[in-house]
Chain A
Amino acid sequence: MIDQIIEGLFLTLRYDTFVLMALGLFGGMLVGALPGFTTLMAMAILLPISFFLDPVVGIPFLLGVYKGGIFGGSIPAILVSMPGTGAAVATTTDGYQLTKKGQSRKALDMALFSSVIGDTASDIFTLLMIVPIAYLVLQFGPPEIFAILILSIVIVAVTAGHNPLKGLIMLTVGLWLSFIGSDPIGGMERFTFGLFDLRDGIPLLPLLIGIFAIPEIAKIVGRKTTGSNSVASILGERLSRDEFKRCIRTICRSTVIGTMIGIIPGLGQMVAAVMGYTAAKNASPVKENFGKGELEGVAAAEAANNAVNGPTMVPLLTLGIPGDNVTAILLGAFVAQGLRPGPQLFTDQGPVVFGILIAMVIANIMFLAIGYVSIPFFSRIVTIKSNLLVPLVTMFALAGAYVYHSNPTDIIILAVFGVIGMIANAAKFEVMPLVMGFILGVPIERAFGQTLSLANGDFLNFALFERPIMVAILVATPFLAWLIRRKMYADKDNDKYLH
């Protein structure tokens, strides 16, 4: 393992990785800083660029966009009370109050430092934990993998949105979409309606760009927003050492919360930020200051949402389970690069995987430097005109959908999924369970088929006496899903933000 880590380090230490990662960070912060333009949209649109780069360059580039975007979202949250991303929703509460008090510079500095600390600590945790978890997963056979996949999709479905049934319906829609094409066991055609373009199934890339990026762009088109009129300005002194020291305990607590949430598929940054914020408020001796411009509030939310970034790679790399919508896009990047996530990835492509994980840690150091220098620039971006940006973003999205297969049909598929995403948004159906169902549909069916083969026609005896772990996971699935959902909405503060 040490050899692989060292080899991975050498793979990462190349100038183009650093340049592309810096570009990704800058681009992510830029998009995150624009209200209405999300990190998810940026990643979906920039995903195709990574296909044409080496894996240790292309994937760190996307990780840069991811990390930069999550922090970038806190800039408009603090300056104009408009979270650039969902992850920054809890930052708005105290961040904007600090701006009103003329202390926006302090709030932005605190957001940056706590983001970097939360992110770095969770990345190191990921680097240390991922190998033991991968070795554990290697001991699993198809029945256990099947049970874990079911557990993951159920957790994602029931924790997405207000109504768990709606999440489960979207999950089944995603599963059904994954059936289009050839079946993974016998290769028979299903639901292709005789269309040649559907024989290989629905392509992942246009689906991801269409369902994640297009509805966000369409929202701006529908509203015809021409840019924020708010004047974003950076005021006040920088963060002092004493103020930072006062928040260290909160940052550590939020980092732990974010890291734990990151491992569980489906919860993501927003849940982490809200839970980190609520925990900080409950632990504080000056609870009444929260919501009125408390620096600890900004630190708690930002450390927690950034601490999610690293651990979401654990289920992704070891089991091929994307923990949230951003890691679903990263999964697309891995697959396009010929890196099929799963325990075998560590034996087949160990150095590349470690190279990518090391790049995540290096990205944080660059993130600190770029963020510190460029905060004033990004604060100006908050007010840029959207009627100039939306056409460019649309062009990038369409070109991105086209380039992978050089097939214009992919653009039509993108538009169709854009419409599906918009309708889902309008009806308050979350799209993440659909994407999870689509991505994991084939692996689930394959694992289920292999399990039935192993059972040799006597599934009940096989499951109960030979594969008790599978049975235990399947039995525990509804209880675990219920417990996680209950924990998520237990606190009134959490409920307020998450709904």
Chain B
Amino acid sequence: MRNNVEMLVLITIAFLSLMALVFSSALIKQQQMLFGQPSISPDQFPNLTLTAMLIMAIVLLVKPLKKRWFDGKSNEEAPLDVDPDIEEEDEGEQSYLRLGAYFLSMIVYAIFLKEFGFVTCSAILVAFVSVLLGARNVLEIVSLSLISPFLLYVVSTRGLKVALPETDLIERAVQALFQFLGLA
């Protein structure tokens, strides 16, 4: 399994570096020289790096591919990087689904952060990730998802003077709370 991931990573790196080299003139703006000549053009260093990347990826790919295709050995018999002590981790479908949901929640959080504010978005995120990780105690989930974003918001905006996006309603509630506590 891990060797397949390695192969895929190496093939991706080789392909992308090749594409970047082929289309480097389109991806890198060339300098319009008015005075003198630059010591190094903007594409010189990237092209050097991409060439090195491509060569090394091919070198790493050649050995297992050669064994697989010419010697008739499977990928598992021709490892790229033998490491027998590494324990295989839980790679079930459930695990991938959970990870997918976890990363999707981050993207959704980024999209709605400015619109719905930090406290609301964070409360939903905290509750969602807790449930995703198997928390089932409703009281625990609700208290954690309500208190922790609110506390972080107050500490960040009032203590560290850091701007976090928030709706007027919640900001007014925080101000009212501070006035009530005599801290405003």
Is B177 interfacial (CB 8 A cutoff)? no
Is A282 interfacial (CB 8 A cutoff)? no
- A411 neighbours in B (Cβ, 8 Å): 106, 109-110, 113
Tell me the smallest distance from the CB of B69 to a CB of chain A, in Å: 21
Main secondary structure of the interface of B (DSSP, over half): helix
Is A349 interfacial (CB 8 A cutoff)? no
- On whether the beta carbons of B98 and A427 are closer than 8 Å, the reply is no
- On whether the beta carbons of A166 and B60 are closer than 8 Å, the reply is yes
User: Which of B20, B81, B111 is in CB contact (< 8 Å) with A191?
Assistant: B20
Tell me the smallest distance from the CB of B84 to a CB of chain A, in Å: 9
- Tally B residues with Cβ within 8 Å of A: 76
CA distance A409 to B89 in the complex (A): 32
- B110 neighbours in A (Cβ, 8 Å): 398, 408-409, 411-412, 415
Tell me the smallest distance from the CB of B180 to a CB of chain A, in Å: 25
- B9 neighbours in A (Cβ, 8 Å): 423-424, 427, 429
- On whether the beta carbons of B102 and A448 are closer than 8 Å, the reply is no
Tell me the smallest distance from the CB of B153 to a CB of chain A, in Å: 9
CA distance A164 to B91 in the complex (A): 27
Q: Which of A162, A418, A428, A449 has the largest count of B CB atoms less than 10 A from its CB?
A: A428
Main secondary structure of the interface of A (DSSP, over half): helix
Stretch at the interface among B70-78, B121-129, B168-176: B121-129
CA distance A210 to B45 in the complex (A): 26
Is B135 interfacial (CB 8 A cutoff)? yes
Is B13 interfacial (CB 8 A cutoff)? yes
A448-B95 contact in complex given A398-B109, A499-B83, C-beta closer than 8 Å = no
- On whether the beta carbons of A428 and B135 are closer than 8 Å, the reply is no
- On whether the beta carbons of A453 and B39 are closer than 8 Å, the reply is yes
- A166 neighbours in B (Cβ, 8 Å): 60, 81
- On whether the beta carbons of B13 and A222 are closer than 8 Å, the reply is no
Across the two chains, which residue of chain B brings its CB closest to A422?
B99
- On whether the beta carbons of B156 and A399 are closer than 8 Å, the reply is yes
Across the two chains, which residue of chain B brings its CB closest to A182?
B42
Is A195 interfacial (CB 8 A cutoff)? no
- A428 neighbours in B (Cβ, 8 Å): 2, 6, 81, 83, 86
User: Which of B2, B10, B29, B60 is in CB contact (< 8 Å) with A188?
Assistant: B29
CA distance A395 to B39 in the complex (A): 46
A-B contact pairs, 24 of them (CB 8 A): A169-B13, A169-B60, A172-B50, A172-B56, A173-B13, A176-B53, A188-B30, A190-B28, A218-B103, A220-B133, A222-B95, A386-B133, A388-B140, A390-B130, A391-B127, A392-B126, A398-B106, A399-B152, A399-B164, A406-B163, A449-B38, A449-B39, A450-B39, A452-B39
Extra pairs beyond A183-B42, A415-B106 (6, CB < 8 Å): A48-B162, A162-B82, A165-B56, A176-B49, A222-B98, A390-B133
Interface residues of A (CB under 8 A from B): 48-49, 52-53, 162-163, 165-166, 168-169, 172-173, 175-176, 179, 183, 185-186, 188-191, 193, 218-224, 226, 385-388, 390-392, 394-396, 398-399, 402-403, 406, 408-409, 411-412, 414-415, 418-419, 422-424, 426-429, 445, 448-450, 452-453, 499
